[in-house]
Amino acid sequence: MKPFEDIAIGTLVPQQPPFRFVDRLLYCDEQCAEVEFSVPREGIFVSEGRLLAGGLVEHMAQACSAMTGYIAVYIRFLPVSFGYLGHVRSLQVRRLPQVGELLHTRVDVIEDIFGIFMAKVSVCCGDEALAEAIIKTASAAKEDITQ
């Protein structure tokens, strides 16, 4: 198995800069994953020196995408599939992160069945909890991707 630090995040998530909101996969198994993201100075969802709530939600969804991409490629030996953010529930944002802050995000699987993935996602900066939500994503059918 490839060490996590050797995995290019762009091979696990379909989003590319400037719309990529995950920098690195720190850990992953079939139950949980941890990722990092450094809030950029400029870009989509950055305003007045902070990552907006929409950027936090996109980061959380891409953390799930990194996890499902890793599981597909390195555990199940399948290609990465595109997915859709299906539902965000119980979103709590305690503080919007500032430019330059390093976010550490944990994804804990609640359910993963037939292409529907649901997880509790928690975003921290250092020891401070910034946000959490229940995120549901759905994998695209092959027909959806090729059209």
User: What are the extents of the domains in the chain?
Assistant: 17-146
Dump pLDDT digits (tens) for 126-144.
999 999 999 999 988 554 4
**In the chain, what is the straight-line distance between the N-terminal and C-terminal CA atoms, in Å?**
33
**Reduced to 3 states, what is the DSSP secondary structure of residue 25?**
strand
Band of the pLDDT at 35, cuts 50, 70, 90? very high
Task: Determine the Cα–Cα distance for residues 15 and 21; give it in Å rounded to an integer.
Answer: 8
Question: What CATH number has the domain spanning 17-146?
Answer: 3.10.129.10
More confident residue, 81 or 12: 12
| The predicted structure's pLDDT at residue 11 | 93
Dump pLDDT digits (tens) for 44-88.
899 999 999 999 999 999 999 999 999 999 999 988 888 889 899
pTM comes to: 0.93
